[in-house]
Amino acid sequence: MSNMDRETRDHYAVVIQAKDMAGSVGGLSGSTTVNITLTDVNDNPPKFPQKSYQLYVAELAPVGKAVGRIRASDEDEKQNAEMTYSITNADAAAIFTITTDADRKEGIISLKEPLNYEKRKVHTLNIEGSNTHPDSRFAHLGPFKDSTSLRVIVGDVDEPPVFSMDYYIMDIYENSPAGTQVGTVTAVDPDSTNSAVRYFIENGEERPLHFTVGVNSGIIRTTQVLDREETAWHNITVMAAEVDNPRMVSHVPVTIQVLDVNDNIPAISGGNSAVIVCEGTKNGQVIQTVRAADLDNFANGRFSFYVPAEIPANPNFTVKDNGDNTASIISHRREGFSQDRDLGFFSLVLVVADGGEPPLSSTATLSLRVCVCQRNPRERNSNNVCQAQAFLSSAGLSTGAFVAILLCIIILLAIVMLFAQLRNKKASKEPLILSEEDIRENVVTYDDEGGGEEDTEAFDIAALRNPKASEPGRRFHNYLGHGPSPYGEEDELEEGEEGITVVSRRKARELDYGKYSPELETSWFVIDCVPREISRSAPSLLLDGQDIIQQIIQQKVAEADSDTRGPPYDSLQTYAYEGRGSLAGSVSSLGLNAAVPELNYTFLEDWEPETQTLEPVQQAT
C-alpha cells in the first residue's frame, strides 16, 4: 500500500486463507492472522502551535536566568522528533540566548545582557525549530523546520543610580594642602523619573578618612596632607543614592595614587660607621664604596657625590662618583698607611645630592681608621675588618652579639655565686623558732591507781618543762584551789637542793612546790607555777582545783593549735586526771616530793570495809 501513514495508523491485522484444489468446491482451506506494525521515519517537520508569542520580563532580571520556554510539536517519535531551537535575528541574539531541553523538547530562553526599559521597551525574537536528524529520502517533502515570533516586553522597575564608569582611578601629589580636589564621580538615575542623586563615602569601620565627597557634586577632596612615603595608594568606595528613593543605592570603587614630591633628603648608607683603611693600602687603591638612600621615588633618587669646595680637602683621600648611585673612596697617599704611625681617625667630608626638583642634598663626615685588616672568608667582596674583629666575623658573630653573649655569661655567674652564698647563710642559721613554751614531753602510762613510788620514779617532772622556764628569778603566778592565794600577786622562783621553791615577794611563808600547808584549810595546796604572760592571756586558769588540770590541758591544746611558729616535734604528751568529786581526792603521788606524815586520816574510818585496805597505802605514802 503506498498510502500507509504511521501517524494515521500504525497497526494492521491481515487475515490470510489458504485453499487446496485451486479453490474448487469441495476443497479444504486454512487461515491465519498477520499483525503488521509500521515503523516511524522522519517524514514530518516540527511545527509551532502559534505563529507568534508574547513574554513579559522585568528589566532587573539577572543575566543568565531563564525568562521563558517555547515548544514546537513533531508527529514523529524518538530521535526522528528531536529538534534544535535557535534565534535567527542578530539583534535579539545579542541580548537573548535559547537552549534545547532534549527531554521535554523545549527551548529555554535566557538573558545574555541586562535589559533596560529606558533604552528599549520591546524586543522581538525570531525563533526557529529544526529536526536534528533529517532523512534525505524525504527531502522532497519540504524543509524540516518551522519558525515563530516571540515578542518580549520589558517591564519598568525602579533601578539604583548608575555611575559613568565601573571604577575610577585618580591621583594627587603628596603634601597638597587639605581640601585639594582629587577628581569627580558621576551617577544618574536610569529610570524615567530621573531622580536626583546624592553621594557618600562608605566607612563601615568608622575610621578617619583622608578624603571627602561632595553630596550633590560628587567631587572628591582631601581632608589632610598626604604623605607618599607613608601610604602611596588609597582605596575608597563611593555610594550614590536616589533622593526620591534612598533605598536605591549603588557603589563604585575609587583608587587614588599619591604622587611623589622630592621632600626627603638623601643620606649615605652606614654613614655613622667608621671606614676601615687597611695597613699597607697603596696609592690609588679603592678603600671602600659608599651608597646613598632616599625615601623618595627613584625618579628623584639619581644621586651624585662630591667633596664640598668650601672645606679643605683631605690630602690622604679622594672621592670618585661612579655614576651608579655609588661613590668610591680612593687612597691618595704614596707612602701608604701604617697603624703605628696613623693613630686615631681621619675625617672625610662628603656631600650627596639627589636628582629631584628642586634637588636636595646632605653632608656627612666619614671617619676612617687604620688597622691591620682581614677579609671575611665567608663573604665575597666584603668590606675589610680589623683583626680584633676577625674572629667574630669568622664565627658569624657581630660585635653586638658577642657583647650580649658575654653579658649573659657574667649575669649567670653572678646568680650562681649569689645562690651559693645564700645557701651557706641558711645552713649556718639557728632554727627560726625558739619559743619559751617549747615542751619536751614523756609518755606516761598508768595501769592502776596508786602505784606508789613506781609512778614518781617513772619520770622527772622538772624535765617536762622548758629549761629556760626554770631560770632563777623568773616570775610566776601561783595557783591554789578553793580560794585566794596566801602569797602575793607575783612570786619568784628559786631552785634549791630540795626542789623548786616559790618565794613570796611580800616575805610571806615559804612553801616548797607541791608541799601541803597545814596552816591552811585541807583543800589548799600548790598545784603548779605558770609564767605570768600565760596567766594574763588565760585568766580562766584560776579556777577550782578540781578543774585546773582539764583547763591546763585545754589551754595547752589551744596554744599548740594556734602556734604557727612551733616546729612539728614528733612527741606525745598525755595528761590524766583521776576522778572528780571524790572525797579522797587523787591517790597519785605525782604532785608530792616527800611524804606528809601529819595528814589526817580520820575520815577513813567512815569508809566501807572493802575500802579500808587503802589506809595502809595512804600511810605508807
| Averaged pLDDT, 423-430 | 69
- The Cα–Cα gap between 450 and 582 comes to 15
Residues 500 and 522 occupy one common structural domain: yes
Residues 110 and 133 occupy one common structural domain: yes
Q: Is the per-residue pLDDT at 579 higher than 70?
A: no
- The Cα–Cα gap between 171 and 248 comes to 29
Residue 73 identity (one-letter amino acid): S
Residues 239 and 299 occupy one common structural domain: no
What pLDDT, on the 0 to 100 scale, is given for residue 478?
Answer: 44
pLDDT confidence bin for 409, thresholds 50/70/90: very high
What pLDDT, on the 0 to 100 scale, is given for residue 152?
Answer: 94
Residue 70 lies in a domain: yes
Look over the chain and give the mean of its residue pLDDT values, rounded to a whole number.
Answer: 75
Q: Residue 483 — left, alpha, or beta (φ > 0 → left; ψ -120 to 50 → alpha)? A: left
Sign of the CA dihedral running 122, 123, 129, 132: negative
- The Cα–Cα gap between 64 and 109 comes to 9
Per-residue model confidence as pLDDT tens digits over 51-75: 999 999 998 899 998 999 998 888 7
Q: Is the per-residue pLDDT at 277 higher than 50?
A: yes
Residue 384 lies in a domain: yes
Percent of the chain with pLDDT over 70: 64
Instruction: For residue 502, give the H/E element and its range.
Output: strand 499-504
- The Cα–Cα gap between 169 and 422 comes to 73
Lowest mean pLDDT, pick from 98-112, 168-182, 512-526, 589-603: 512-526
Of 235, 259, 283, at which residue does a domain stop? 259
257: closest CA among 239, 233, 226, 281? 233
Distances 325 to 234, 263, 291, 300, 304 between C-alpha atoms, Å:
31, 19, 6, 12, 7
Residues in Cβ contact with 118 at an 8 Å cutoff, skipping those fewer than 6 apart: 190, 191, 192
What pLDDT, on the 0 to 100 scale, is given for residue 67?
Answer: 92
Distances 353 to 107, 270, 438, 448 between C-alpha atoms, Å:
74, 16, 89, 115
Residue 530 lies in a domain: yes
DSSP codes joined into one string, 59-86? TTPPTT-EEEEEE-B-SS-GGGG-EEEE
Residues 91 and 120 occupy one common structural domain: yes
DSSP codes joined into one string, 556-588? HHHHHHH-SSS-------------SS-TT----
Of 237, 259, 281, at which residue does a domain stop? 259
pLDDT confidence bin for 315, thresholds 50/70/90: confident
Lowest mean pLDDT, pick from 212-221, 332-341, 379-388: 379-388
Residues 238 and 141 occupy one common structural domain: no
Residues in Cβ contact with 222 at an 8 Å cutoff, skipping those fewer than 6 apart: 172, 176, 177, 178, 179, 180, 182, 210, 211
Residues 188 and 148 occupy one common structural domain: no
What are phi and psi for residue 391, nearest 5 degrees? -65, -25
What pLDDT, on the 0 to 100 scale, is given for residue 52?
Answer: 92
Has this prediction a pTM greater than 0.85?
Answer: no
- The Cα–Cα gap between 353 and 327 comes to 12
45 cis-preceded (ω within 30 degrees of 0): no
Q: Is the per-residue pLDDT at 132 higher than 90?
A: no
Residues 584 and 526 occupy one common structural domain: yes
Residue 494 lies in a domain: yes
Residues 565 and 484 occupy one common structural domain: yes
Residues 229 and 127 occupy one common structural domain: no
Residues 314 and 371 occupy one common structural domain: yes
Range of the domain at 358: 267-394
What pLDDT, on the 0 to 100 scale, is given for residue 300?
Answer: 61
What pLDDT, on the 0 to 100 scale, is given for residue 528?
Answer: 45
> Which set of grid coordinates corresponds to residue 408?
649573659
User: What CATH number has the domain bearing residue 109?
Assistant: 2.60.40.60
**b/e 70-98 (16+ beta carbons within 10 angstroms → b):** bebebbbeeebbbbbbbbeeeebeebbbb
Residue 411 lies in a domain: no
Residues 487 and 609 occupy one common structural domain: yes
What pLDDT, on the 0 to 100 scale, is given for residue 532?
Answer: 46
Find the Cα–Cα–Cα–Cα dihedral 16, 20, 22, 26, rounded to 10°.
-110
Residue 441 lies in a domain: no
| Averaged pLDDT, 112-124 | 90
Percent of the chain with pLDDT over 90: 24
**Strand 233-242's sheet: what is its strand order?**
168-173, 249-259, 233-242, 197-201
By CB atoms closer than 10 A (0-12, 13-18, 19+), residue 290 is buried
Which residues lie across from 504 on neighbouring strands? Answer: 491
Residue with grid cell 600565760, as numbered in its chain: 534
Instruction: Give the number of domains in the chain.
Output: 5
Residue 298 DSSP SS3 = helix
- The Cα–Cα gap between 39 and 260 comes to 83
Of 198, 231, 259, at which residue does a domain stop? 259
| Averaged pLDDT, 118-135 | 87
Residues 174 and 311 occupy one common structural domain: no
| Averaged pLDDT, 218-234 | 93
CA 87 to chain centroid: 61
| Averaged pLDDT, 298-322 | 83
What pLDDT, on the 0 to 100 scale, is given for residue 141?
Answer: 75
Per-residue model confidence as pLDDT tens digits over 434-493: 454 545 555 555 555 555 555 555 555 554 444 444 444 444 444 444 344 444 444 454
Residue 221 near residue 211 (C-beta atoms within 8 A):
yes
Residue 443 lies in a domain: no
- The Cα–Cα gap between 292 and 302 comes to 10
Residue 5 DSSP SS3 = coil
Residue 22 near residue 120 (C-beta atoms within 8 A):
no
Q: Is the per-residue pLDDT at 585 higher than 60?
A: no
